[in-house]
């Protein structure tokens, strides 16, 4: 049999997989809570295509970044270069501009939930098709209140999922006024230490020196600690923006840690950068990352637009949701209808249709099994009840409702069945 592509995974009903990040019930929960959080804070959904012109990401993400090198890129039949999206911020900003959303008086608050693609080296918990939930707040304002409100929303979201023990890390990475001078001072300082740094540091020194600060290699740490920090070079505007952001977090009672070496992986970020890490996956792990990207639209050839947003890998969120929050039985059928005798089947279809109209999930035995076998199937589907319909039941208008857990059987009319199942659901 043909198998799935390396680095991808099937998301399945939990009864077919023991892998938590492959269980659809967990995914549905995370998506449902995310949508509810976004609704409460006034975000609207956007769905952009999975393929975009390669140029969008080469300009947006930067040609020399890891993300760009890991893109799935191919030449289309008409010679155009297209890529599977490795992230959704650039596509969202493109759509914002393409559909004239900048004509809106206020902020445009968008969210997305969808797959992204990066051809990463295969490793545990990393997929080449991975899913992200994210938001983008776009418009003419860069008020730090935007940042604070998005983070407040994220805390509601995490709390609702039962993900506790998280930490918020924040930093300001400056802007066009103060960063260039800092970058050249940083580059100078890195150059002096270059022989002692790892290969990836040496490469980043050329392409994106800010990311050298991000290096996790043990032997680099002592040298990285000596490098200048952006926080000492912020201009007044960036400094004020950052302190107002912190004040608004304090006001909400949201704890944070200033992490002066926190940078974002992509070049277009400026000022606010943040991460929320969680400890539930063993080691401290980034669950959510985001930042401000006021210059991105212009890089893409659009109008000047200010933006702030985050992205979060659904796989990691799904793995972090504690067992206690999850109801793996959320999709199990409420009722399995078993028919005794061929004639009762036609009759059962009508009963099933009316029960479904009343809001009950019903599976009818379509395969004409004998009662014992039919009940075994109901068991393997983990149905809560079975309904047994035979000739006698049709005559009397009462059917046998069997609780599949206790084996208890009661004879009930249709309206009583509906009441019983509705009552159970309350």
Q: Toward Zn ion, which CB reaches closer, 220 or 311?
A: 220
CB of 275 to Zn ion, least distance (A): 19
Q: Toward Zn ion, which CB reaches closer, 173 or 305?
A: 173
Give 34's DSSP letter.
H
CB of 69 to Zn ion, least distance (A): 18
Sequence-ordered strand ranges (E) for 248-393: 257-258, 270-278, 285-292, 306-313, 335-339, 362-364, 385-389
CB of 144 to Zn ion, least distance (A): 14
Q: Toward Zn ion, which CB reaches closer, 159 or 181?
A: 181
Q: Toward Zn ion, which CB reaches closer, 240 or 411?
A: 240
Instruction: Report the DSSP pairing between strands 51-53 and 81-84.
Output: antiparallel
| CB 38, CB 86: distance < 8 Å | no
CB of 256 to Zn ion, least distance (A): 20
**Residue 421 neighbours by CB distance under 10 Å:** 20
Q: Toward Zn ion, which CB reaches closer, 21 or 175?
A: 175
Helix/strand/coil for 292: strand
Q: Toward Zn ion, which CB reaches closer, 85 or 211?
A: 211
CB of 82 to Zn ion, least distance (A): 34
Residue 119's DSSP bridge partners are none
CB of 233 to Zn ion, least distance (A): 8
Q: State how far the Cα of 220 lies from the Cα of 240, in Å rounded to an integer.
A: 32
**Residue 375 neighbours by CB distance under 10 Å:** 20
What long-range pairs does 348-356 form, CB within 8 A, spacing at least 24? 348/389, 351/387, 351/389, 351/399, 351/414, 354/414, 355/414, 355/417, 355/418, 355/421
CB of 195 to Zn ion, least distance (A): 12
CB of 70 to Zn ion, least distance (A): 19
Q: Toward Zn ion, which CB reaches closer, 237 or 358?
A: 237
Q: Toward Zn ion, which CB reaches closer, 238 or 388?
A: 238
Those residues whose C-beta lies under 8 Å from the C-beta of residue 369, and which sit 6 or more positions away, are: 338, 377
CB of 267 to Zn ion, least distance (A): 16
Footprint of Zn ion (CB under 5 A): 174-175, 177-178, 198, 201, 215, 217, 220, 235, 238
Torsion of CA 228, 242, 280, 131, to 10 degrees: -100
| CB 312, CB 339: distance < 8 Å | no
Of all helices (H) and strands (E), which one includes residue 150? helix 144-160
Q: Toward Zn ion, which CB reaches closer, 136 or 175?
A: 175
Q: State how far the Cα of 422 lies from the Cα of 426, in Å rounded to an integer.
A: 7
Q: State how far the Cα of 335 lies from the Cα of 328, in Å rounded to an integer.
A: 17
Helix/strand/coil for 346: helix
């Amino acid at each position: 049999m043909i198998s799935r592509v390396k680095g991808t995974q099937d998301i399945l009903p939990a009864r077919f997989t023991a892998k938590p990040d492959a269980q659809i019930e967990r995914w549905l929960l995370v998506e449902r809570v995310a949508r509810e959080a976004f609704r409460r804070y006034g975000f609207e959904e956007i769905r952009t295509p999975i393929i975009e012109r390669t140029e969008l990401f080469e300009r947006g993400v930067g040609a020399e970044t890891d993300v760009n090198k890991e893109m799935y890129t191919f030449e289309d039949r008409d010679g155009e270069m297209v890529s599977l999206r490795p992230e959704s911020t650039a596509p969202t900003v493109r759509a914002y501009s393409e559909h004239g959303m900048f004509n809106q008086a206020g902020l445009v608050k968008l969210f997305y939930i969808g797959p992204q693609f990066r051809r990463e080296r295969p490793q545990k918990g990393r997929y080449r098709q991975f899913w992200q939930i994210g938001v983008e707040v776009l418009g003419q304002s860069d008020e730090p209140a935007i940042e604070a409100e998005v983070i407040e929303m994220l805390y509601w979201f995490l709390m609702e999922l039962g993900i506790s023990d998280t930490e918020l890390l924040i930093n300001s990475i400056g802007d066009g006024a103060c960063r260039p001078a800092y970058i050249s001072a940083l580059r100078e300082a890195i150059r002096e230490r270059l022989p002692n740094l790892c290969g990836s540091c040496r490469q980043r020194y050329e392409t994106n020196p800010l990311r050298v600060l991000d290096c996790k290699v043990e032997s680099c740490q002592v040298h990285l600690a000596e490098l200048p920090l952006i926080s000492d070079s912020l201009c007044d505007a960036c400094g004020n923006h950052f302190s107002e952001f912190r004040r608004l977090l304090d006001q909400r009672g949201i704890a944070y840690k200033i992490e002066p070496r926190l940078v974002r992986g992509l070049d277009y970020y400026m000022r606010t950068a943040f991460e929320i890490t969680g400890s539930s996956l063993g080691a401290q792990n980034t669950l959510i990352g985001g930042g401000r990207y006021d210059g991105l639209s212009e890089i893409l050839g659009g109008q000047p637009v200010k933006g702030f947003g985050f992205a979060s890998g659904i796989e990691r969120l799904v793995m972090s949701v504690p067992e206690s929050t999850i109801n793996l039985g959320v999709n199990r059928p409420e009722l399995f209808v078993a028919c005794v005798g061929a004639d009762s089947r036609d009759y059962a279809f009508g009963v099933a249709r009316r029960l479904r109209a009343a809001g009950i999930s019903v599976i009818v035995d379509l395969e004409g099994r004998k009662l014992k076998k039919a009940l075994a199937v109901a068991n393997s589907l983990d149905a809560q009840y079975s309904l047994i319909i035979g000739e006698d039941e049709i005559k009397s208008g009462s059917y046998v409702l069997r609780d599949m857990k206790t084996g208890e059987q009661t004879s009930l009319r249709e309206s009583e069945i509906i009441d019983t199942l509705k009552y159970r659901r309350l």
